[in-house]
Amino acid sequence: MSFQLVTLLTCAAGMSLVGLVYNAIAVHFMVGALLATVVVSYATSRLSALALEWRREAADRVFEHEPVEVAVELTNRGRLPRFLLTVVDQLPEFMRAEHLPEFVLPSLWPGERVRLSYQARAAKRGVYALGPVRVSVSDPFGVFHHFAPVPAVGEAVVYPRPVPLGPLEIGETGADPALSTGERARASDSGTEFYGIRDYQPGDELRRIHWPATAHHNRLTVIEFEHGSSRSLTVVLDAMAGTEFGAGADTSLELGVRIAASLIHWVLHNDGRAGLAVGSAEGVRWIELDRLDREYEALEVLARVRADGPLPVSQVLEEAGQYMPAGGATCVVTAAPDAGLPGAVALLRRQQLHVAVALLDAISFDPRAPGFLAPAALEAAGARVATIRRGDRIEAPLKGVFLANH
């Protein structure tokens, strides 16, 4: 009960007593006016929210820890002004705003539109549902405050941030040296064969522009080189239900997603071809990327990954193996290698594929995690294994399995 309401009711009660004692008609009229004010204020506060129109906007594609621009647009579609509006936005778990997203509007006149905006940051990658908005609408006298949730919902997609891996090589001794010269090493430096020319696309190096063709066609044209199979890397990410260990933003799945994003980022920035296979509740999700400007497709999948798939990583690897070119490489990222994984690795090795396993130590994330297949069994099947624990930097272990001459 607000202070204004207590004051009005107290005045009405006192004046009623005075009116009864002195039988003063004017006093009774004033009591009726006070009670009418209470009734009108109550009705006004209840009806005010119905004429408000809401629209939400969000900068829905950012990397983790980057600011997300969130805005709520409010319009008064009614014929009467609205007073003392309090708008509070609700943020999901792992997303925090620098300041409490609460706004107070003294008034909102008919047809008036306001835009309320703030910044928030996400502590981990993922898909975040924004809203609903909690709004408090008051009458002109501030007697009653009506709180109501408004379904102004939205979605923000937060990408995992790739870690720069520096110079690595795919495969074994004799592999294509173009991928050992650092990020953005170009196919034109590697001795790969000329394939043709095509229109310039965002992400292409200016040094690859074919100036005679550009002048002839009056548009930017670049030289394209043929991608050999040894320049192909497929990442197989284990997302089986029950294989995520740890809590909050520091889990084995989050580390696995970061490794997958980093490997795909690295191979695409070196003019290679990248593949991504992830088990999900709907089955195995497979995408293949051949250009740098398509990296966001993999990031979109990785942002939405959840540990809810029905298949163990060995079956995901076997299904993805049919899409992998001979002579290429694959990296399996898992915290729960199952008993069938060595057989799947051996099958790919017989197909002339180079196999690496980024083995995430589940016990380092959760001491109660069960034991899984030993790295020796995977190495015996022909895979190079890098064991990565919670808190480790990922660059050195990945170099250990991808360097060509170790």
Determine the pLDDT at residue 323: 84
Assign 375 a pLDDT band (cuts: 50, 70, 90).
very high
CB distance 82 to 53 below 8 Å: no
CB distance 261 to 164 below 8 Å: no
- Tell me how far the alpha carbon of residue 390 is from its chain's centroid: 21
Q: pLDDT per residue over 32-58, tens digit each?
A: 887 777 777 777 666 666 678 888 888
Q: pLDDT per residue over 115-148, tens digit each?
A: 999 999 998 999 998 888 888 776 666 666 666 6
Range list of β-strands (E), 59-138 = 61-63, 67-76, 82-89, 95-97, 102-108, 113-122, 126-130, 133-138
Determine the pLDDT at residue 142: 64
CA gap 255, 243 in Å, rounded: 12
CB distance 329 to 351 below 8 Å: no
Planar angle of CA 397, 399, 403, nearest 5 degrees: 140
What are the residues facing 173 on neighbouring strands?
A: none
Assign 380 a pLDDT band (cuts: 50, 70, 90).
very high
Assign 200 a pLDDT band (cuts: 50, 70, 90).
confident
From the list 346, 218, 347, 330, the residue with the least C-alpha distance to 275 is 330
Give mean pLDDT, residues 308-330. 89
Determine the pLDDT at residue 258: 96
Q: Which of 95-99, 221-225, 271-275, 358-362 has the highest mean pLDDT?
A: 358-362
CA gap 269, 188 in Å, rounded: 14
Write the DSSP string, 293-326.
Answer: GGHHHHHHHHHH--S-BSS-HHHHHHHHHTTSPT
Q: pLDDT per residue over 381-395, tens digit each?
A: 999 999 999 999 998
Q: Which of 143-157, 172-186, 322-336 has the highest mean pLDDT?
A: 322-336
Pairing of strands 113-122, 95-97: antiparallel
